[in-house]
Amino acid sequence: MLLGDHRQCNRYVEFSARFASRNTSTAMRRRERRDGVRAALDRLPERDREVLVLRHLEGLSTADAAAVLGVSEGAFKSRHLRALQRLRSLLGAGFSGESP
């Protein structure tokens, strides 16, 4: 029994090492992605940045974000779409918003 426990322990250690390595690289990719988005947001005009922050970081609905900015929902949607397009162009074609 002792030998079997030892092998099981070795397998667990190996699995843990692979899992930790995967989690570390996943965390690094997320951190790089987050830093890239922050840098791109900083490069956007304030008008674009405020729309994206209200909608995506503050989590406001379209109606609520439009009210905060004092614009109609239609105007907000147009500004939001243009801001997203500008953000995407700053992030580049290689950027994916999907989680790894």
Q: Are 73 and 62 in contact (CB under 8 A)?
A: yes
Of residues 2 and 92, the one with the higher pLDDT is 92
> Which tokens in the block code for residue 97?
């918003």
Distance of CA 84 to the CA centre of its chain: 14
Mean pLDDT score across all residues of the chain:
82
pTM (whole model) above 0.75: no
In the three-class reduction of DSSP (H, G, I as helix; E, B as strand; rest coil), residue 72 is classed as: coil
Alpha-carbon gap, residue 75 to 80, rounded angstroms: 8
For 41-57, the pLDDT digits (tens) are: 999 999 999 999 999 99
Angle of the 73-91 helix axis to the 62-69 helix axis, nearest 10: 100
Between 7 and 48, name the one with better pLDDT.
Answer: 48
| pLDDT at site 93 | 63
Split at pLDDT 50, 70, 90, the class of 24 is confident
For the beta carbon of residue 6, count every other beta carbon within 10 angstroms.
10
Which tokens sit at 61? 């609905």
